[in-house]
Every structure is written in structure tokens, then in C-alpha cells.
Amino acid sequence: MKELFGFMKNNWWIIILLLFSACDSEQEETTTTPNTKPVALEVISLKETPAFDEEQAYQFIQAQVDFGPRIPNTETHIKCAAYLAKTLANLGLDTIVQRTNVIAFNGKSLSIQNIIGQYNPDAINRILLCAHWDSRPFADRDTKKQAKPIDGANDGASGVGVLLEIARTISQSELTPNTGFDIIFFDAEDYGQPSNTMIASQNNTWCLGSQYWARNKHRLGYSAKYGILLDMVGAKGAVFPKDGVSMSYAPQFVNQMWEIAAKMGYSNYFINQKMPGQITDDHLYINAIAGIPCLDVIHYDIDRMDFGYFHHTHKDNIEIIDKGTLRAVGETVLQMIYQEN
């Protein structure tokens, strides 16, 4: 995930409180205007969907972690990228690998891969489903071995695991959704500038893969009705409040998803509270540059004003992944897809 102190820009006292917040980058120039008008929500009736298998989602997470840390410019990164692209293709999605080089906060050139799977690519009505697949190259919030990369079982692999299981579930089901969708695994989300670095603060050092994609979409003229970003969606006891960027750009889809979760009995995960400030995550650039309204499902504890205790530490390993959390997120996203007429 991202570094932890950039939520609210004009309230310095909140910035101090959020010293360990999400990303240390200011908002990119926008090409769209946030939707700040109140949105009336239609009454939602749950639709029949194929069954989400949390056991299989867990195995997809385990497979990523087994490669080792997914850090750009490493052999484990290359091998995991090949695995993800092959898995999407084997599930019947038209697969594209978007390769490029980006410059990290420390001036290092990173070879990155955005991995894209298209379901029913000819459908005009589309949903964008995304997560980042890279892991943090250092444990800057840990008390030991800070220079070593983390496993990123939750921060990175969990969102990818849920989306792979959604792709598998739909591809093997006779229940065909009335929409196309695109799964994008963004790279280099978590290579942002640490808060304790002596390097001068830089804008937009996080979410490098989504920044590139937002300016260089995989299809000419590509758009989607809306997007769902999954980030840190696998830990036991996870809670997902409504973040500020999501509520500014995509309030109707946030409210729809949280209402669906409540109807499904998952309001203990999708809590009906607004997060203080705004998180710089991949969805920011999808909204502000690509012009696609996109919401973020992200673990954040409002009472602690922080992410999980394991965030950007070596505790972010497979042991913290909870299958009940995976099921709650996967079933809610599936229901959003099948709500499309």
C-alpha cells in the first residue's frame, strides 16, 4: 500500500495525526470534476450470482506469496507477473500485459507490468475491477529488518486473489453477467517514498502503474461505467469505511455497494462511516486522470486512525489472511457485477 500521512491537505493538525496514513503524494491534476451532489439511491434487490469460493481465493493469495516479494526489477516479480497473466488467460479472459519503465522516488528506473484481463471485450457496458499486485520493497513501519521487503499477503496479494476468484467463478458459471468487465492488476503502487527518508518530498511517488495506465489506457478510447479498487481486503477483522476520494467522485456506486453489503449481512465489514480525509491510492488517478468514477474498498480503522497493525511490516504475511473477509468482499463485488441490467 502507500505511505501514511497525506489525507487532508489544508488541516495541518489532521496531517500530524495521520502521520501514518496512506500515501505521501498530492493529488494529480484533474480532468474531471468530483461529484459532490447528493445521490438518490434506488431500492436494491439482490440478484442470483455464482458462488464465490473463499478457499480458492486464499490459494490464489498463497500462490503469489510463494513467489516471494513482488518488487520491480527482481526475478520473483517477473515470475509472478507471468503467473498472473497466464492465470487470467486460462480463465478465458483476453489478456494484455502493459510494460513500461517508470522512475521511483529515489531516481531508480523500474520495469513494471500492468496485467489486464478482459471479459466480454466487445460489450459496451463495462466495469473496471482492479488491485495492485506488487509488494512493498521495505518494511518502513517495522521495528526490525526495515530494509527488507515484505510479503504483502494483504497489501497487494489479497485484492488480486479476490479478483482472480471472481474471474474463475464467472468463467465457469452458467450465470452470465449482463456487462463486460476488465480486471487490471496495477504494478508499482507500493514503491512510494518512505516517511523517514531524507529525500525531499515528491508528489505522486505512489501508484506509478495506475498513473501510467490512466494516461495510456490499454484500448484506444477505453472507458467504463465505474470502477472498484480492492486494496488490503483479506485480514481478519477488516473494516472498510467510505473514503473521501471515492465519495467525491463515485458516491452513488459507494452507496450502492455498501447497501448491498448490508443486505448480504456484511455491514460489520463495510461500515457506514466516512473516513477522515482522502487516501491517495490507485483509484485517485483512475478518477482524476482517466475520468472513470472509481471507489476504493480499503481496510482502515477510524478509531485508530490507521491501517492494520501489520501495515508495511513483516507481519503482513499469509497468517493474517482470513477466509471470512475474503468471502464478504468477493460476494459483495459479485453482487455489484450482477446488478447491471
Q: What is the model's pLDDT at position 278?
A: 86
Measured CA to CA, the distance from residue 307 to residue 299 in angstroms comes to 6
Does pLDDT of 8 surpass 50? no
pLDDT tens-place string over residues 263-309 = 999 999 999 999 988 889 999 999 999 999 999 999 999 998 999 99
Q: What is the model's pLDDT at position 10?
A: 39
Measured CA to CA, the distance from residue 177 to residue 173 in angstroms comes to 10
Domains and CATH numbers, the chain: 12-338 (3.40.630.10)
Task: Give yes or no for a contact between 206 and 2, defined as CB atoms under 8 angstroms apart.
Answer: yes
Measured CA to CA, the distance from residue 176 to residue 330 in angstroms comes to 17
Task: Give yes or no for a contact between 215 and 28, defined as CB atoms under 8 angstroms apart.
Answer: no
Q: Of 35, 25, 28, 34, which Cα lies nearest the Cα of 5?
A: 25
pLDDT tens-place string over residues 228-257 = 999 999 999 999 999 999 999 999 999 999
Measured CA to CA, the distance from residue 97 to residue 124 in angstroms comes to 22
Q: What is the model's pLDDT at position 283?
A: 98
pLDDT tens-place string over residues 166-176 = 999 999 999 99
pLDDT tens-place string over residues 68-104 = 999 999 999 999 999 999 999 999 999 999 999 999 9
pLDDT, the chain, mean: 90
3-state class (DSSP) for residue 186? strand
Amino acid code (one letter) for 299: H
